[in-house]
Structure 1
Amino acid sequence: MSRFLKLGFAAGLLLGTACLGATAQASDAAAGGKLGIGRVATPEEVAAWDIDVRPDGQGLPEGRGTVSEGMAIYDENCASCHGDFGEAIDRWPVLAGGQGTLEAERPEKTIGSYWPYLSTVYDYVRRAMPFGNARSLSDDDVYALTAYLLYLNDLVDDEEFELSKENFTSIKLPNEENFIDDDRLEEPHYADKSEPCMTDCKPGQAEITMHAAVLDVTPEDAGDKDAPAGGID
């Protein structure tokens, strides 16, 4: 092969490689934005993350589980943090009880006293529990655990009660009606696009009408006997 043919072949090879590289870079840039990092997620990857459940039942998977089945799963995976009956250990969240306490000075916000929708229970357990081993439970396990949490909160009283996709939306938590839609966009400074008032909005001096509850997060100073036992008011 002559010298000129060799040079032409090498130049063509380099040009082809450069074109392929530019095409790959353009594809990567389209997938990863301006930085050209990452790629477009596959449908299977999207489906693996798209597991949220809505209050109307959209997103619920097929499955079912009973209270008695959930009890065994709870004892093995949950009781070490949340207590044998949802009463909690140390500072882990309380799951049961608290009914009638929302207007008290120290309300106890549990699934049975405060949470608005059962879908929140199912979605959170499925997504994040057990702590340190999230996504290890099957969909049937999560139905059973959710049924057992209803039982712990006296919302069902039969150990053989079975929760499933079919009857899920028929279960209403006691505090649902006390939650309202977020209507901030209807407030004047949103509706007419005006700037919210920041100074001298109301005449007179500001008046304290109530205090936050003691939070018990501020350690007491052992050397100051007059120091409050809890946090700030």
Structure 2
Amino acid sequence: MPMSRLSLVGAAIVLVCTTTLVYGQSKFGFGKKATDAEIAGWSIDVDRDGKYLPPGHGTVSQGRELFQNQCAACHGEKGEGGIGDKLVGGKGTLATAKPVKTVGSYWPYAPTLFDYIRRAMPLNAPESLTNDEVYALSGYILNMNGIVPADAAMDAKSLSAVKMPNRDGFVDDPRPDVP
């Protein structure tokens, strides 16, 4: 009996290996190769330097209204937090025993704020905001933190130019980039 089990296992291994050789590892007879357009729809990364920020623009005043309608229920009327994270304050707390990590105290790069808002907010409908709305919200949140003035307009160029207060508070990852 043990020999027949061993033969059965051996036959299964041969079948799997033969199938892999004939069809290749990625050809199982179903699905299709993603088109460039399909990949582009999912490829919405924005680099910390602003590379890949999309076209669009928004003002702090537009962001104020959007924030009240879309964000304040979770993040508080003035970004003080609630159900959602605190977005404002925390200046000077990072080196303390109880750091307050907010956009103004902790966030190192303004373009990644755009990336996060676009991907994840609002929590009940992520990726539902237009690029213009995300630029406006980014501007308003930066304004609430005293980083940009009340008359600021945000677009790819101006958002990339914002120097965040904690930009130099991080160390580079010494590991080599992985392709």
TM superposition score normalised by structure 1: 0.63
- Matched residues, percent identical? 45
8 Å Cα contact 2:49-2:109 kept in structure 1: no
The CA RMSD over aligned residues, in Å, is 2.1
Partner of 1:168: 159
1:57 to 50, 62, 65: 50
Alignment of 1:147-226 (within 5 A): 147-158=139-150, 160-184=151-175
**Whose helix proportion is higher, 1 or 2?**
2
Greater relative contact order (Cα 8 A, min sep 6): structure 1 or 2? 2
Q: What are structure 1's unaligned runs of at least 5 residues?
A: 1-28, 186-233
Deviation at 1:61, TM superposition (A): 0.6
Q: Verify: 1:142 aligned to 2:134, yes or no.
A: yes
| C-alpha spacing 1:164/1:37, structure 2 compared with 1 (3 Å) | same
Q: Verify: 1:88 aligned to 2:88, yes or no.
A: no
Partner of 2:8: none
8 Å Cα contact 1:32-1:39 kept in structure 2: no
Q: Distance in 1 between matches of 2:82 and 2:67?
A: 14
8 Å Cα contact 1:70-1:146 kept in structure 2: yes
Q: Which one has the largest radius of gyration? A: 1
Per-residue CA shift, 1:11-65, capped at 9, x if unaligned?
Answer: xxxxxxxxxxxxxxxxxx9898154442211222111111110112111011110
| C-alpha spacing 1:58/1:32, structure 2 compared with 1 (3 Å) | farther
Q: What are structure 2's unaligned runs of at least 5 residues?
A: 1-21
Partner of 1:42: 35
What count of residue pairs does the alignment treat as equivalent? 156
2:63 to 60, 70, 74: 70
Q: Distance in 2 between matches of 1:32 and 1:152?
A: 52
Deviation at 1:182, TM superposition (A): 0.8
TM superposition score normalised by structure 2: 0.81
8 Å Cα contact 1:65-1:143 kept in structure 2: yes
Deviation at 1:104, TM superposition (A): 1.1
State the one-letter code of the partner of 1:43.
D
Report the 3-state secondary structure (helix = DSSP H, G, I; strand = E; otherwise coil) of the residue aligned with 2:67: helix
